[in-house]
Chain A
Amino acid sequence: MEKLLELASKNADWAEIFYIKKEYKSVNFKTGRVYNIEGEDEEGITLRIRKNGKTGFTSSTSIKERENILKMATDVLSVSEKTPLRIPSYKDSDYPSVQCFDEKLLNLEEEELIRTGEGMMEVIRKNKPSITVTAEVGNSVSNIRLINTSGTDKSFKRSFYSISLCGTMVREDEQLEIESSFSSGSYVDDVTPLARKMVEDVTNSEKSVTIKSGPMPVIFSPRGFKTIYPPLYMAFCGDRVGRKVSPLADKHGEKIGPSFLTIVDDNTVPFGSLSGPMDDEGVPGERTALVTDGIVKAFYYDLRNAEKYNTESTGNGIKRTGLYEGFKLTTLPSSHPSNFLVLPGDKSLEELMKTMDRCLIVEDVLGGGQGNNMSGEFSVNVMLGFLWEKGEIRGRVKNVMIAGNVFELFANLLWIASNNTWEHSFFGIYNVPSMCFGDVHIATKD
């Protein structure tokens, strides 16, 4: 790395190298039985260079081919335009100490992953033998290092433990897939609650109920939050705000929800999925309050957009591309959320549910991210949703669509429960509680 940086610095005004070495292993289950063991060793670097205000960028997994790597970056630089970039310069003491590595995950053997998976299978087999289950139990350890010619040299290790469970229920002309997943930066002893939750979902789905079109209060569980996550996180993106393509573009300092609504982006949370001392361009991690007491307080930025819009990076320069992709080595860092959190309320979900007369509980949806996200809109099929009436779940609702605008919803936020959990969806990873919104538009076929 040092050699490449030295080589690059001779040809550029500034240079940065990001290095990652990741070891990932997982055990997959199909039809309730262990199916395969996978291992993945990934090692690669990216090189970003600056010359005369222009940027060159490349990545490679053949890290010893230094001349070629530099040539690719220089080629890119030669076709580039002048773009802003706030040149970072951080000392080791600028970085927060963040818990993001669990020694236990380093030494986790395949056999233990198998036992974990079988524990979940056992719970489901005992309670719901007709459900076909697939699952993945995996863990990874990444070594990350970033060096640049403005003096930054920071390395850290990040561990990751993830479990996903998918149950398929097939009946006469009815198929239902229930998915739940969990991820953490640290090892978790007992993951059977995930399986028990699936059993509960299946039980609740055994009876179907119909509802009529019209407005109704809707509760999004932490899992159901993925309905509103894409339009929500996009609206706080500094780049979108700057280009005025965010519905929050002119709303800084304005109230968008009740005083109990607080939303933060925070890469310093212990063992969050994207926790670490820095982001993917060497900026120290920090907690950014996006919404405090219902008022829009900040947006999130990477170095490029920080310079462009004359502000500071919030440690959100992240290698991620579109809506559906996670970390991608081959991508230039840009403004993305790190760990996205909606802070918990004071009361438990059980206590709050008692106050509800009739509402729709949304556990999972199909088509998240598919509406007009840019405008804050969503329109989804409620894949797993339950009707709550008079103190109990009456059954599963089918063929129901809900639609609306996230910010109209927040203006009508009734309560936030205290049941935060980490949720893992393709749109990102977040920690949120159950939230109840007033009249949400429901369309049904009945």
Chain B
Amino acid sequence: MKTLIEETIRTVPADYLEIRIERTKQLSINFEGKNLKSSQQVEDYGGYVRALVDGGWGFKSFNNVETLKENAQIAVKNAKILGKPKFRMCPVAKYIEKIHPDLNGKTDPRSISFTDKVNYFRELVKTVTESHERIINARSSYVERERNLIIANSGGTYLTIEDLDVSGGISAVARKGDVIQSAYQSFGTKNAWEDVRRIEKHIDRIVKDSVDLTDAMAVKGGRYTVILDPKLAGVFIHEAFGHLSEGDAVAANPTLQEQMKFGRPFGEKHLNVCDGGAYPGCRGSYPFDDEGTPSTLTHIIKEGKLQGRLHSRETAGKMREAPTGNARTVSYRFPPICRMSNTFIDRGESTLEDMLKGIDYGIYACGSGSGNTSMDMFTFSAEKSFIIRNGKIEEMLRDVVLTGNIFETLLSIDMIGSDLVLSRGGACGRSYGQRLQYPLPVSMGSPHIRIQKVLIGGR
């Protein structure tokens, strides 16, 4: 393959040429109740060529990798149809490296047999199913993805990457009358079966939460002072600021550049927000992004002020800012675009006790459902919530969906805890025309935070 790649780069003329060849083996196991719903092993082998000529991009993906050179010519031909205005990709040094998963002393998930994995989840799901009369269903998922990747470009970079990503989770579904509720715990790891097994510690919790939620009240819509637990605060910052930090939207929009100028205050002095593939040991950790740029750790917000953005080489070049190693793709089917990696609110000094003090009536929202963003607006949902009355956490609430606006909500964070935790099981989706680049492994996290006057939907 190497000969063909090098020959293609040498003989197909373009201002910039990038080749990705990818072979993925994926094993998955899904239980639904006591039954194995599906298990499968799949292989996906393919690649893409991306060519930049006079400012126009041509992209071509394919399954028949023998036709690499012909596809490169098509990509160049398409790039030429477009052209203009020219721009310069931010220069990055060339890297020739081989990268393997760091298995240092850990149990490689691939070393556990297919049968043992199936039996492992069968037992877990059985435990959940039989644990309470209101539990009507339990589900588990396990996805183990092994990837062999070559990323090469006309700048001389040639990376050979072997990458392992394991993710999944277990959920319990409880029913009481017409009310159906669920609770979920995810896992994710880049190297260790031990990380998967940590799910065992959460079984009792998800059963209890799902059952308790069927007794919980639905929330009444309105504005509340809320405390978010680290898990939900992580989703919050991912949605609230992470997406708007993706460099391509800003690079393409001069008005947005005015609005998102470095130095502009978005929060109080205690607010620090970071993202970076160089933050170690998480789902979104990687040495190089999908353009071959080394990962970094970027302060998006420092002491309340905007300080960084997440860049690809194109957006860094166009905005004359430093590359951050955030060009990522979910597979060879898509070109890399600006994406998050590990996004988090950095530690503050408060404790949960401090935050509860002074709240007469508010909401403590915990655990992550999911979230969405469109420009300055975002929504995110909690797995379970509680009413805070006179500084005390009291009865449980269900179906809490929160919404906000970056220009107001971040400024309304009045307390930040010291208990930073990053999640391990995140998947991020970003729309790409009518398709979705999903699921991209990411982590997100935060300490406990308190926000004033958050709008919550409900009846």
Contact = CB atoms under 8 A, between A and B. Distances in A.
Interface of A: 26, 28, 30-31, 34-44, 55, 57-62, 65, 68, 72-73, 75-76, 78-81, 83, 110-111, 114, 130, 132, 134, 136, 138, 162, 164, 168, 170, 173-177, 181, 183, 213, 243-245, 247, 324-326, 330, 332, 366-372, 374-375, 377, 379-381, 383, 399, 401-404, 424, 426, 441-445
- Identify the 8 closest CB pairs spanning chains A and B, nearest first: A443-B221, A401-B457, A136-B433, A36-B57, A367-B379, A175-B375, A37-B78, A379-B401
Contacts, number: 264
5 contacts: A42-B333, A59-B42, A366-B379, A403-B457, A443-B221
B62 interface: yes
Interface of B: 26, 32-33, 35-36, 38-46, 56-64, 71, 74-75, 78-79, 81-82, 114-115, 118, 136-137, 173, 175, 178-182, 221-223, 249, 252-253, 255-256, 259, 333, 335, 369-381, 398-399, 401, 403, 405, 407, 429, 431, 433-436, 438, 453, 455-459
Contacts of A326: 435-436
A133 to B, nearest CB: 10
A170 B256 contact: yes
Given A38-B335, A72-B41, A370-B401, A80 B379 contact: no
B311 to A, nearest CB: 16
A31 B314 CA distance: 15
Given A81-B35, A370-B401, A399-B455, 4 more contacts: A39-B61, A41-B63, A243-B137, A326-B435
A190 B41 CA distance: 44
B45 A61 contact: yes
A371 B399 contact: yes
A168 B256 contact: yes
A194 to B, nearest CB: 13
Given A247-B178, A377-B399, A403-B458, A36 B42 contact: no
Given A213-B221, A379-B401, A380-B457, A245 B137 contact: yes
A59 B398 CA distance: 40
B376 A379 contact: no
B362 to A, nearest CB: 16
Given A366-B379, A367-B379, A401-B455, A72 B114 contact: no
Given A41-B62, A110-B81, A383-B377, A324 B40 contact: no
Contacts of A175: 256, 259, 375-377
Contacts of A424: 434
B77 to A, nearest CB: 9
Given A58-B40, A374-B182, A445-B223, A75 B137 contact: no
Contacts of A83: 35-36
B433 A367 contact: no
A162 B455 CA distance: 36
A396 to B, nearest CB: 12
Given A325-B436, A381-B403, A443-B221, A366 B373 contact: yes
A28 B252 CA distance: 13
A79 B43 contact: no
A65 B118 CA distance: 26
A244 B377 CA distance: 36
Contact of A138 (B114, B178, B333, B433): B433
Contacts of B249: 168
Contact of B118 (A79, A168, A444): A79
Contacts of A40: 60-62, 333
B376 A174 contact: yes
Contact of A381 (B39, B56, B377, B453): B377
A114 B80 CA distance: 13
Nearest to A443: B221
A83 B78 CA distance: 49
Contacts of B42: 58-60, 72, 330
B58 A36 contact: yes
Nearest to B28: A330
Contact of B81 (A41, A111, A176, A442): A111
Contact of A403 (B32, B33, B375, B459): B459
A443 B457 contact: yes
B429 A324 contact: yes
Contact of B401 (A79, A114, A403): A403
Contacts of A35: 56-57, 82
Contacts of B38: 55, 57, 332
Contacts of B181: 372, 375
B318 to A, nearest CB: 11
A375 B178 contact: yes
Contacts of B374: 177, 366, 383
B385 to A, nearest CB: 12
B223 A132 contact: no
A379 B253 contact: no
A31 B252 contact: yes
A80 B380 CA distance: 37
Contacts of B79: 36-37
A177 B376 CA distance: 9
Nearest to A65: B43
Best-buried of A58, A136, A326, A381 by chain B (most CB within 10 Å): A381
Given A114-B81, A330-B42, A372-B181, A379 B222 contact: no
B78 A370 contact: no
Nearest to B429: A324
A157 B75 CA distance: 26
B39 A445 contact: no
Given A76-B41, A177-B375, A443-B222, A136 B434 contact: yes
Contact of A330 (B26, B380, B431, B436): B26
A30 B375 CA distance: 16
Nearest to B59: A38
Contacts of A381: 377, 379, 403, 457
Contacts of B372: 366-368, 370
Given A136-B434, A245-B180, A399-B405, A61 B40 contact: no
Contacts of A366: 372-374, 377-379, 403
Given A31-B253, A41-B62, A426-B436, A245 B136 contact: yes
